[in-house]
Amino acid sequence: MEHTLVMLVEDKPGVLNRIASLFRRRAFNIESLTVGHTEHPGISRMTIVIDGNQTMVDRVTANLYKLVNVIQVADLAGTPSVSRDLALIKVSVTAINRSEVMQLVEVYRSRIVDVANDSLIVEITGDESKINSFVDVLRPFGILEMVRTGVVAMARGVNVALAAANGNGHKPQVEMTVSQERMTTS
């Protein structure tokens, strides 16, 4: 089963390397990994999608917490959450089928961000399955190039997965998080 881990890490040189090295060293597989700034200077937020059972996720979480620069980790599996992936897709078009592609873009609520004589760049945002489906639909026209950001995710409502990311200007909490508490046995 896929698990989406969201985490806050210190924005310091080498942190991404430490996390990547941990996954390599312990032979955990990463499906996707994204990283970017948060509203707090000096703190980055990562979203890592991994495929594994709960025991493995607990191991990953516990190992991530051993990294000094990792502040918090939360598993969104089982939590109502929003996850989004963004893709830029350059698709080959002709004068004849351009309008057909544009209709599909409309249906998928994506948008065209570049138009050339024989190609279009389409930007689409959504969960992974929506993007996968769109890619399948465009494939017959000829996909020239594609790039995807990987998944970013956030818990729904006031349910804040990560304490430091609650927008109230709070410093990172040093208390144990939910996912750490759950690190008992089953």
Partner 1 sequence: MKRSGAQIIWECLVREGVKTVFGYPGGAIMPAYDALLEYPIHHVLVRHEQGAAHAADGYARACGEVGVAIATSGPGATNLVTGISTAMMDSSPIVCITGQVASKFIGYDAFQEVDITGITLPITKHNYLVTDINDLTETLREAFYIARTGRPGPVLVDIAKDVQQASIEWEYDDTPIRLPGYRPDRRPMPKDMQQAAEMIRSAKRPVILAGRGVLLSNAMNELREFAEKTRTPVAMTLLGIGGFPASHPLNLGMMGMHGEAWVNNAIQQSDLLMAFGMRFDDRVTGNLKTYAPGAKKIHVEIDASEINKNVPVDLALIGDLRETLKQLMPHVETCDHNDWIETIDEMKGDSAVLDIQNLPDNGHLYAAHVINDLWRHTNGEALVVSDVGQNQMWAAQYYKHEKPSTYITSGGAGTMGFALPAAIGAKFARPEANVWVICGDGGFQMTQAELSTAAQEGLKINIAVINNGYLGMVRQWQEFFYDKRYSATPMHNPDFVKLADAHGLTGLRVTRRSELEAAVSKAEETEGTVVIDFRVEKEDSVYPMVPSGADLHNMIRRPSPNIIVETNM
Q: Specify the amino acid at residue 117.
A: N
Give contact residues for partner 1 (rule: CB under 8 A). 9-10, 13-14, 17-18, 21-22, 25, 55, 58-59, 62-63, 65-72, 171-172, 174, 176, 180, 183-185
Provide, rounded to whole angstroms, the least separation between the CB of residue 33 and partner 1. Answer: 17
DSSP string of 8-58, one letter each residue: EEE--TTHHHHHHHHHHHTTPPEEEEEEEE-SSTTEEEEEEEEE--HHHHH
CA distances to 41, 103, 111, 126, 153 from 123, in Å: 29, 14, 5, 10, 19
Output 70 or 122, the one with its CB closest to partner 1.
70
Provide, rounded to whole angstroms, the least separation between the CB of residue 178 and partner 1. Answer: 14
Provide, rounded to whole angstroms, the least separation between the CB of residue 18 and partner 1. Answer: 6
Output 60 or 101, the one with its CB closest to partner 1.
60
